[in-house]
Amino acid sequence: MKKLTRRELALIFGAGVLAGTAQGKVWKPSVRPGVVGLAEARAALGKPLGPEAARRAMAGALAASVGAESGAEAAVTMFSPRDIVGIKVNCLAGKYLSPRADLVEALVDLIAGAGVDRRRIIVFERSSRELQRAGFTIRESGPPYRCIGTNNDYDREPSTSGAIGSCFARMVSTTCSALVSFGVVKDHDLSGVSAGMKNWYGVIHNPNKYHDNGCDPYIADVARHPYIRNKLRLTILDGVVAQCHGGPAFRRGGIFELGMVAASTDPVAADLWAWREIEAERARRGMPTLEAAGRPVRFLASAARAGLGVDDPTKLSLVSA
Amino acid sequence: MRIDRRRMIVLGTAGAAATLHQPLLRTAAAAQRGSSASGDELPAREASWYKKLEEDRVECELCPQACKVADMERGMCGVRENRGGTYYTLVHSLACSIHTDPIEKKPLFHVLPGEKAFSFSTAGCNVECKFCQNWEISQFRPEQVQAYNLPPEKLVAAARRNGARLTAATYGEPVVFWEYVRDVAIAANAVGVKPTVVSNGFIKEKPLREVLPLLSAIKVDLKSFRDEFYRKQVRGELEPVLKSLEVIKEIGVWLEIVVLLVPTLNDSAAEVRDLCAWVKSKLGPDVPVHFTRFHPTYRLTDLPPTPVASLERAWKIGRDAGLNYVYLGNVPGHPGENTTCPGCGEILIRRVGYRILSNRLVNGSCPDCQRSIPGVWS
């Protein structure tokens, strides 16, 4: 794939600025605390949803998350044409338990529909190899969007947020103005749940340092760093197939067909929903709760205390498409 | 002067080029280019100290962090990975920093003064000191730094070519590459090169006991005498380090201790007094203790360098406590760098920085009062 020249980049940025100015007002992304939009999407393990079903699910979840009439309308409230949008996918578990490429592409289409040039939409993960293993095609410069690993391109100095001190991927610190966490619904051996918030461990250089104490308060500390907090527009959770036990790697025995896609502007609420679904499946199987299994989900309370979202189940509002 | 990561890599590469010679470099370069590799491209070797748990999980038995690691995940060190229920070290023979240093730089003041130590490190560390001087390698994972495939025999051969009588596992944290340390020590001993280690001592007793007999000397950083400091500033614990020091003493490997004095955090007179009293009672008065000067770096950039007065206070406390060999570090030209005979008070080894100005020891003894000075002198 051809890399963008400086002139091309300047043109793209310029177009974005003009488009934003043409709107004639200060654009602010919409935020709906506690609201999680849900859409049905069913496919068996390892099978694609198909483009049409993926588009329908993604548009439905997005619209439900902000009370919009359509996915396109919802995307306009979340992304400005001036944005450079980074979509962080969590591909640690390989092809069976990573965000489905057709869902990711459906989201890209919606963001592009909001006026963001496709070359300013970047799907990324820690390494290109992880993306490839999960079924993504590396696209250095697009079209139809860019898809690349950050490949150890970190800030040169560490940045502190609460208890963590990390070099952040320049993708989030410098390149992108808007971020999407695109995770999967899965159990995690230490944090209990790995969905949207833990996905951000993939943008720091030293995640291995922050897995003690159920990853708490570290998950919240990464998410409340201004690089994430000030840029996060949306959390998407691929729950078409989920995993209630044995994570974060793929383990067939823990897999279940949840058949849902979730979208939320509240990262805490999104993970709260994922936690609830995992616990429900564990209960159905007669398994102990995550807390009883020795991995209580602590990080959501820390995230809520940091003002990142709603962790109170009574305030969780699930809106179906 | 601060050295950033890129600069470190450049220096490391230059060092490698200077010390290893081209034939080896070509081999190494072909085998490893770490800066853009992902973890599964790294050479993996089954770890020596761990146990398998249910459902493909493992528990590391190398250091007191005792990480329980799920499949596809790594321990806190970042260099050990669980792959399908087998735990692997990703850094055996994968040196990211190599250099020939004077042994005084470690510092090991009672080990072959003035001799060269062929020093090496891999990426990774099992703690996270907020004041880490080598964070550009210790706090990164192996795929994030450039590294060379340098098996033990080649490392020792390079040491000999460079006139080094010692090897030193240093810079990062040797505990996380303990299998490599072990195998380098075996290779070094086979050809009469003395293997040494510079460590935080945060290691479990079994792996420590297995490797110690292979070593000629070890320097341990005792980062504080307060557990709270260890937990807040280091993300480790004090007790296992004290235990390591006692095991080292018991085995009889030559030991020196470094205490980095960080202003306001671990430099109180009370703490230094407690530390010195413990060293004297548990390890004896002949274990050298180096109080060294902190410089702001990594995550502790809001503190000043340690005042020389604090260092001199610690120096006095140590000597008043009955320790025979108390040194000051990172203050070149200070009398606290010299070795003085505890018997007659005469200066035996005069140093400035890493340079030896004079060495009056005769067969490891004071030429004036014939007192034997402990250390590794030949």
pLDDT of residue A5: 55
Residue A137 tokens, joined? 């095609």
Cα gap B224→A38, rounded to integer Å:
52
CB contact under 8 A, A190 and B70: yes
Residues 6+ apart with CB under 8 A from A98: A89, A90, A91, A92, A134, A135, A184
Helices (H), chain B: 5-20, 22-31, 135-138, 152-161, 178-190, 205-211, 227-229, 238-251, 269-278, 308-320
Beta partners for residue A90, in sequence order: none
Binning pLDDT at 50, 70 and 90, where does residue A193 land?
A: very high
Chain A residues lying within 8 Å of B6, measured CB to CB: 156
pLDDT category of residue A177 using cuts at 50, 70 and 90: very high
The ranges of chain B with pLDDT < 70 are: 1-41
Would the CB atoms of A129 and B130 count as touching at under 8 Å?
A: no
Spell out the residues 6+ positions from residue A2 whose beta carbon is closer than 8 angstroms to its own.
A140, A141
Q: Where are the domains of chain A?
A: 38-121+153-313+316-320
Q: Hunting for tokens 């067909």 — which residue is that?
A: A257
CA distances from A207 to A200, A218, A299, B76 (A): 9, 9, 15, 8
* CA-angle at B184, arms to B178 and B185, nearest 5°: 90
Predicted confidence at residue A226, as pLDDT, reads 97
What mean pLDDT comes out for the span A257-262? Answer: 98
**What are the φ/ψ torsions at residue B347 (nearest 5 degrees)?**
-75, 130
| Alpha carbons B102 and B166: distance in angstroms, whole number | 10
Judge: B78–A206 Cβ closer than 8 Å, yes or no: yes
Residue-level pLDDT at B16? 46
- B286–chain A Cβ distance below 8 A for any pair: no
Q: Which residues in chain A are contacts of B38 at CB distance < 8 A?
A: 126-130, 149
Three-state DSSP class for A124?
A: strand
Q: Do B55 and A246 lie within an 8 Å CB cutoff?
A: yes
Residue B165: partners with Cβ closer than 8 Å, 6 or more residues away: B112, B115, B116, B193, B194
pLDDT at residue number A30: 75
Asked whether the beta carbons of residue A158 and residue B72 sit closer than 8 angstroms, the reply is no
Identify the helix (H) or strand (E) that includes residue B99: strand B97-102
Contact A106, A57 (CB under 8 A): yes
Distance from CA of B145 to the nearest CA of A (A): 9
**Segment holding A260, helix H or strand E:** strand A260-264
Cβ pair A211:B35 closer than 8 A: no
The pLDDT value recorded for residue B2 is 41
CA gap B340, B336 in Å, rounded: 9
Contacts of A160 in chain B (CB under 8 A): 299
Tokens describing residue B187: 């290779």
Higher pLDDT, A58 or A321: A58
Q: According to the model, what pLDDT value does residue A29 have? A: 76
Q: What is the pLDDT of residues A138-157, one digit of tens each?
A: 999 878 999 999 999 999 99
Closest to B78 (Cβ–Cβ): which among A156, A190, A208?
A208
pLDDT in the model for residue A143: 82
- To the nearest whole Å, the CA of A128 is away from the closest chain B CA by 8
- Residues of B within 8 A of A165 (CB-CB) are 128, 130, 298-299
| Euclidean distance between CA atoms B190 and B187, whole angstroms | 5
Pair B98, B145: CB distance under 8 Å:
no
List the single residue in B with minimal CA-CA distance to A250: B71
Of the candidates B147, B121, B156, the one whose C-alpha atom is nearest the C-alpha of residue B31 is B147
Supply the ipTM of this predicted assembly. Answer: 0.83
Return d(Cα A220, Cα A228) in angstroms, integer.
Answer: 11
Using a CB–CB cut-off of 8 Å, the residues of A that contact B are 92-93, 126-130, 149, 151-152, 154, 156-158, 160, 165, 188-190, 205-206, 208-209, 211-212, 246-249, 251
pLDDT band (50, 70, 90) for residue A51: very high
Q: How many CB atoms lie within 10 A of CB B286?
A: 16
How large is the average pLDDT for residues A217-236?
A: 97
- The pLDDT value given to residue B341: 98
In the prediction, which pLDDT does B12 show?
Answer: 47
Nearest C-alpha neighbor of B252 from the set B375, B170, B363: B375
Q: Which of A129, A152, A211 sits opposite B144 (nearest CB)?
A: A152
In angstroms, the CA A153 to CA A168 distance is 9
- Picking from B38, B71, B235, the nearest residue to A127 by CB comes out as B38
Q: Looking at residues A40-59, what average pLDDT do you find? A: 95
SS3 state of residue A111: helix
Contact between A72 and A59 under an 8 Å Cβ cutoff? The reply is yes
B299 and A165 within 8 Å at the Cβ level: the answer is yes
Nearest C-alpha of chain B: how many angstroms from A137? Answer: 17
Give the chain A residue whose CA is nearest to the CA of B67.
Answer: A212
Do residues A55 and A103 lie in contact, with contact meaning Cβ atoms separated by under 8 Å?
no
Decide if pLDDT at A181 tops 70: yes
Query: Structural domains in chain B?
Result: 99-135+160-340 (3.20.20.70), 341-378 (no CATH)
Region A223-240: mean pLDDT is 97
Query: Is residue B57 within 8 angstroms of chain A, CB to CB?
Result: yes
Q: Give residue-wise pLDDT tens across range A64-102.
A: 999 999 999 999 999 999 999 999 999 999 999 999 999
What are the DSSP calls for B255-311, one per residue? EEEEEEE-TTTT--HHHHHHHHHHIIIII-TTS-EEEEE---BTTB-SSPPPPHHHH
Q: What values do phi and psi take at B89, rounded to 5?
A: -90, 135
Interchain contact, B38 vs A129, CB within 8 Å: yes
What is the pLDDT confidence band of residue A31, given thresholds at 50, 70 and 90?
A: confident
Q: Do A154 and B144 touch (CB under 8 A)?
A: yes
Q: Does B54 touch chain A (CB under 8 A)?
A: no
Question: Is the backbone peptide bond immediately before B367 cis, with ω within 30 degrees of 0?
Answer: no
Distance, in angstroms, between A16 CA and closest chain B CA?
31
**Mean predicted confidence (pLDDT) in A34-58:** 96
Question: In which band, very low, low, confident or very high, does the pLDDT at A2 lie, cut at 50, 70 and 90?
Answer: very low
What is the full DSSP assignment across B159-214?
A: HHHTT-SEEEE-SS-GGGGHHHHHHHHHHHHHTTPEEEEEE-----HHHHHHHGGG
Whole-angstrom distance, CA of residue B77 vs CA of residue B167: 23
